[in-house]
């Protein structure tokens, strides 16, 4: 049996993708960080207020029916035993077995477990503070009876979205989605979960065997295989659009068939008009790179050189065109069908793992009147919807058409930002009366609402070693720290600003970041210490005509803008290389915004004058 196991289509999702998706959702606040509720089915009365770390999923082939979900955290657990309330802070860990029940909601393939799909296979806790529970209460909280109560509560919470793994948009499967005849079926294998979909449409019916689903993703993170039998269903919506396109040529499309050959799709059909009928056939071959030629364009002064370029892209080309009548008359029909089928391929897009693991890889049918577009790039970097969140690198690594199935392989790599302390490294002495702001970026997945997470801010006079400020408290609302240098010491020339981020759980202390920045107080800023200028930019308008396959040059477009602000005492190379179209120059004695906004206003500053380069994060005045 092939990788599709008899299903119309099968999707493999790596365990790592599930966990990255959970982590991104957790950090963005789309997964609850708290489980606070009374545990039902008492007595005795038990209530918890648990902080949750990011959950983790494990896929083990030892149990093909269940995902392993590991959850841990800490917080309060209160039990009323014989009328006495015993409240303690505890650290806990749970292991759950969860049936991977998927449902289709429109084009979204979503994990939707019911509360009966959850089994609590492991539950442990240890008291962190408040002293031990009484022996009777402790025995009960570790008993099978309490575990059953906790399992029920967790099942209800998870079914309500406590583990809301973002959906997979399976619109890339075309009409297979709307033709799916039953609930998707999933199997767990080592390191992956595989989902199969059956169809019953247009005389095509599949009945897959879930027991035969295997991990076919190779080295990819997500992979899709379409059963050759179901390819006509994938293109079911294409026939009407192709029929319309052929009709515009005064012909009627009587039949159309799309089948799979080794390395290509085969399109065959019959069309007719008043003069007679024609049978046509052509191949559609995938192309994984796109080439754009260069050009030398005459401009107002000299020439503009456009260099040739090649990049990974998923496109298609028509080949092996065959018709059984006069080609000059009928080849246009085959060309129209080819243009409609291959004019565009909407790529797989992952806007953010926070909202969904995949977006779409679909053979979309484009009207012949729509100008051809370059094929979509196979490599994309998708921005987070959360400010400062990670980008995701997406690459369509493989696309293969084989008689055994159509295979697409994709890799996903979130670019997780590291923890860092950001703030000024130097200021002129006449700026020491201004409030300065320092900011810490937490390690990814560590959140300020964690009651055990703490931030300590320390300011030291580095010349004398005197500690000027030492504030240590929970992290909530303390990721930014402001102070006015002259309020701490008029004569101090070097401040050490230090930040420690750590977690305390009982006697255990875990450090996540411990960094410092030296703030140097330099001589006062001279008059006109900063400069910017107003200038015109003349941009040649060079564009590529995709339909004609040629470059063209239009008159220059003039835009007036402000330059970035530069330093005059330590200017970068560009500070003296101003545009000859400069209209006005402005010298500043101070920045046009408060110093505690320098990080947010970075776009107005020269990266080299103030930060030492585009990749640097520590500003200097």
- Rounded CA separation 379/91 (Å): 43
Supply the pLDDT for residue 342. 41
pLDDT band at 584 (very low <50, low <70, confident <90, very high): confident
Q: Is the pLDDT of residue 37 over 80?
A: yes
The mean pLDDT value for 610-614 works out to 89
Q: What percent of the chain has pLDDT over 90?
A: 44
Mean pLDDT throughout 238-249? 68
Q: Is the pLDDT of residue 366 over 50?
A: no
pLDDT of residue 81: 94
Q: What is the 3-state secondary structure (H, E, C) of 42-104?
A: CCCCEEEEEEECCCEEECCCCCCCCEEEEEEEEEEEEEEECCEEEEEEEEEEEEEEECCCEEE
pLDDT at 368 over 70: no
pLDDT in tens, 47-58: 999 999 999 999
Instruction: State the pLDDT at residue 332.
Output: 47
Mean pLDDT (whole number) for 482-505: 93
Is the pLDDT confidence value at 75 over 60?
A: yes
Residue 354: the pLDDT is 26
- Whether the CB-CB separation of 448 and 479 falls below 8 Å is answered with yes
Q: Where are the domains of the chain?
A: 32-159, 420-522, 530-610
Neighbours of 541 (CB within 10 A): 10
* Three-class HEC string of 335-386: HHHHHHHHCCCECCCCCCCCCCCCCCCECCCCCCCCCCCCCCECEEEECCCC
Is the pLDDT assigned to residue 333 strictly greater than 50? no
Least-confidence region, from 15-29, 362-376, 596-610 = 362-376
459: which 2 tokens? 């300011």
Q: If you average pLDDT over every residue of the chain, what do you get? A: 83
Query: Distance between CA 183 and CA 173 in Å, rounded?
Result: 16
pLDDT at 373: 62
Helices and strands in the chain, H and E counts: 9, 36
Stronger pLDDT, 349 or 577, i.e. the higher one: 577
Mean pLDDT over residues 342-366, rounded? 28
- CA-nearest of 113, 102, 111 to 183 is 102
420-522 is a CATH 2.60.40.10 domain: yes
Prediction pTM value: 0.83
User: For residue 247, what pLDDT band results from cuts at 50, 70 and 90?
Assistant: confident
Peptide bond into 30 cis (omega under 30): no
Half-sphere exposure of 24 (CA within 13 A, CB side): 32
Query: To which residue do tokens 């575990």 refer?
Result: 147
Tokens (6 digits) for 287: 């192309």
* pLDDT of the residue at 116: 87
Q: Does 41 score more than 50 pLDDT? A: yes
Provide mean pLDDT across the span 578-587: 76
pLDDT confidence of residue 89: 95
Instruction: Identify which of 126, 73, 54 has the alpha carbon closest to the alpha carbon of residue 503.
Output: 73
Taking residues 495-519, report their average pLDDT.
Answer: 95
Q: How far is C-alpha 27 from the geometric centre of its chain's CA atoms? A: 12
Strand partners, 48: 37, 77
């Amino acid at each position: 049996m092939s990788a599709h196991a008899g299903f119309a289509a099968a999707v493999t999702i790596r365990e790592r993708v599930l966990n990255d998706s959970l982590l991104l959702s957790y950090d963005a606040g789309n997964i609850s960080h708290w489980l606070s509720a009374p545990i039902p089915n008492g007595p005795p009365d038990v209530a918890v207020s648990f902080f949750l770390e990011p959950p983790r999923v494990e896929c083990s082939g030892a149990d093909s029916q269940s995902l392993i979900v590991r959850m841990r955290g800490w917080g309060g657990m209160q039990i009323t035993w014989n009328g006495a309330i015993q409240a303690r802070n505890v650290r806990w860990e749970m292991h759950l077995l969860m049936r991977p029940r998927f449902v289709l909601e429109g084009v979204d393939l979503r994990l939707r477990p019911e509360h009966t799909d959850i089994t609590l296979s492991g539950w442990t806790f240890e008291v962190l503070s408040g002293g031990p529970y009484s022996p009777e209460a402790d025995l009960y909280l570790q008993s099978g009876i309490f575990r059953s109560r906790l399992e029920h509560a967790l099942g209800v919470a998870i079914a309500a979205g406590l583990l809301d793994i973002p959906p997979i948009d399976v619109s890339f499967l075309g009409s297979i989605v709307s033709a799916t005849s039953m609930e998707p079926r999933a199997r767990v294998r080592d390191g992956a979960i595989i989902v199969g979909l059956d169809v019953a449409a247009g005389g095509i019916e599949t009945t897959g065997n879930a027991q035969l689903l295997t991990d076919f993703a190779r080295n990819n993170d997500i992979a899709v295989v379409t059963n050759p039998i179901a390819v006509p269903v994938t293109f079911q919506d294409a026939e009407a659009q192709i029929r319309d396109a052929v009709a515009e040529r005064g012909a009627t499309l009587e039949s159309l068939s799309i089948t799979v050959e080794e390395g290509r799709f085969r399109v065959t059909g019959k069309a007719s008009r008043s003069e007679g009928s024609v049978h046509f056939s052509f191949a559609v071959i995938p192309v994984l790179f796109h080439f754009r030629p260069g050009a030398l364009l005459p401009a107002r002064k000299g020439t503009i050189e456009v260099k040739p370029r090649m990049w990974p892209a998923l496109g298609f080309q028509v080949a092996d065109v065959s018709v059984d009548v006069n080609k000059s008359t009928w080849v246009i029909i085959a060309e129209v069908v080819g243009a409609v089928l291959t004019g565009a391929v909407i790529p797989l897009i992952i806007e953010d793992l926070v909202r969904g693991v995949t977006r779409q890889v679909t053979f979309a049918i484009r009207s012949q009147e729509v100008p051809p577009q370059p094929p979509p790039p196979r490599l994309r970097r998708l921005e987070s919807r959360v400010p400062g969140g990670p980008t995701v690198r997406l690459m369509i690594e493989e696309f293969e058409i084989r008689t055994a199935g159509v295979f697409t392989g994709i890799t996903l790599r979130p670019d997780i930002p590291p923890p860092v302390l950001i703030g000024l490294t130097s200021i002129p002495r006449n700026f020491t009366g201004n409030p300065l702001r320092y900011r810490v970026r937490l390690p990814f997945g560590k959140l300020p609402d964690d009651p055990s997470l703490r931030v300590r801010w320390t300011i030291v006079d580095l010349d004398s070693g005197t500690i000027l400020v030492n504030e240590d408290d929970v992290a909530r609302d303390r990721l930014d720290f402001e102070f006015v240098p002259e309020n701490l010491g008029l004569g101090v020339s070097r401040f050490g600003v230090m930040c420690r981020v750590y977690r305390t759980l009982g006697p255990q202390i875990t450090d996540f970041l411990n960094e410092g920045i030296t703030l140097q107080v330099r001589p006062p800023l001279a008059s006109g210490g900063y400069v910017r200028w107003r200038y015109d930019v003349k941009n040649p308008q060079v564009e590529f005509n995709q339909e004609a396959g040629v470059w063209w040059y239009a008159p220059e477009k003039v835009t007036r803008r402000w330059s970035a602000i530069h330093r005059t005492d330590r200017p970068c190379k560009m500070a003296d290389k101003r545009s000859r179209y400069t209209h006005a120059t402005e010298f500043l004695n101070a920045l046009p915004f408060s110093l505690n906004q320098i990080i947010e206003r970075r776009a107005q500053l020269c990266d080299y004058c103030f930060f030492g380069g585009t990749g640097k994060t520590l500003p200097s005045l």
